[in-house]
Amino acid sequence: MRKVSKCVYCADPDLFDKRLTPTDADRHLQVSLPRRGSHWPEPPKVKIIVPNKQVIRWGATDPREVVTLKTPEVIRGKIHVRTITDADMVARFAGFKIQVIGVESPIEPPLPSGVFFGRYSTQEKKSWLYVSYHAARITHKDSPIFVDSHWHPSHGRIVTVRGFGRVSATTEEKAIINTALGFDTKPKRRGAPPKVADEAVLKAIREQGEKATQKSVAASAGVAPRTLQNWLYFRAGMNWDYLKEGVLSGRVGTD
């Protein structure tokens, strides 16, 4: 059993500030997130055009399934910071900003629990690089209060609130705090078919190797074979043989 390391956020209360401070070496990357949670606006209506099987559209985004953030992700060394603003969300979250912190790792980390948290992977040459998004700071433009949340396998999720102007919170402060904590709600169920997790599909192919079939990979990913078939054409934009060969050869990753 792997030994669980100590939580760096518990060890250093100022780590949020350090990781959110801009540097001259910052890089920027446009990013899209899964449309999970009641804070995202309703997806637009789109006309689906199934591409030719040989057309490669890996990385194409379905606006019904994902939200492309208005603000690019910042990469500073091994730290990634995603910024979600009120321009990305529904009206009741006007004035709010969420900064989600991720950390790169060459070893697959545990899966964090939380609305804005997650684990993503990309292939760098012949090895895999994982990014665990396990900390977030929520602020509001009209208040000095900020809500910090972080997750660690040793203690689960911890939420702290700081920035009070006095001993007891004002009515305005309480409203902001309650709304900030409201992000942590269960995703809406829209009656759509089960979502296909890109990482689950690619991981199943890598683990099963040449023996992988659409049926066996669908079972590992927890979806119906038909759902995986639809995902191949619309989300991945390629046929099964091309996807399988690309994953096993390392040509196709999760981005």
- Domain boundaries along the sequence of the chain: 8-31+69-181, 198-249
| Average pLDDT, integer, range 28-52 | 75
Please report which confidence band the pLDDT of residue 192 belongs to, taking 50, 70 and 90 as the band edges: very low
The pLDDT of residue 36 is above 60:
yes
Structural contact between residues 61 and 68, judged by C-beta atoms closer than 8 angstroms: yes
The pLDDT of residue 252 is above 90:
no
Give the other-Cβ count within 10 Å of 108's Cβ.
Answer: 12
Give the CA angle between residues 234, 239, 240 to the nearest 5°. 115
Task: Report the pLDDT value the prediction gives residue 166, as an integer from 0 to 100.
Answer: 73
Task: Report the pLDDT value the prediction gives residue 112, as an integer from 0 to 100.
Answer: 87
In this predicted model, what pLDDT tens digit does every residue of 89-123 receive, in sequence order?
A: 988 889 999 999 999 998 888 888 878 888 888 87
Look over the chain and give the mean of its residue pLDDT values, rounded to a whole number: 81
Q: Which residue would you say has higher pLDDT here, 85 or 191?
A: 85
| Average pLDDT, integer, range 19-39 | 88
What six digits make up the tokens of 197?
């997790």
The pLDDT of residue 38 is above 60:
yes
Exposed / middle / buried, residue 22 (Cβ in 10 Å: 0-12, 13-18, 19+): exposed
Task: Report the pLDDT value the prediction gives residue 118, as an integer from 0 to 100.
Answer: 87
Q: Which residue would you say has higher pLDDT here, 118 or 1?
A: 118
Q: Which SS3 state, helix, strand or coil, does residue 202 take?
A: helix
Q: Which SS3 state, helix, strand or coil, does residue 200 take?
A: helix
Please report which confidence band the pLDDT of residue 44 belongs to, taking 50, 70 and 90 as the band edges: confident
Please report which confidence band the pLDDT of residue 134 belongs to, taking 50, 70 and 90 as the band edges: very high
Q: Which SS3 state, helix, strand or coil, does residue 144 take?
A: strand
Judged by average pLDDT, the poorest of 69-83, 119-133, 139-153, 185-199 is 185-199
| Average pLDDT, integer, range 41-52 | 65
The pLDDT of residue 133 is above 80:
yes
| Average pLDDT, integer, range 189-208 | 71
Please report which confidence band the pLDDT of residue 4 belongs to, taking 50, 70 and 90 as the band edges: low
Q: Which among 187, 193, 117, 183 has a CA at the least distance from the CA of 156?
A: 117
Strands (E), the chain: 27-29, 32-34, 66-68, 73-76, 79-85, 96-105, 118-124, 127-140, 143-152, 156-162
Q: Which residue would you say has higher pLDDT here, 85 or 231?
A: 85
Judged by average pLDDT, the poorest of 5-9, 28-32, 64-68, 75-79 is 64-68
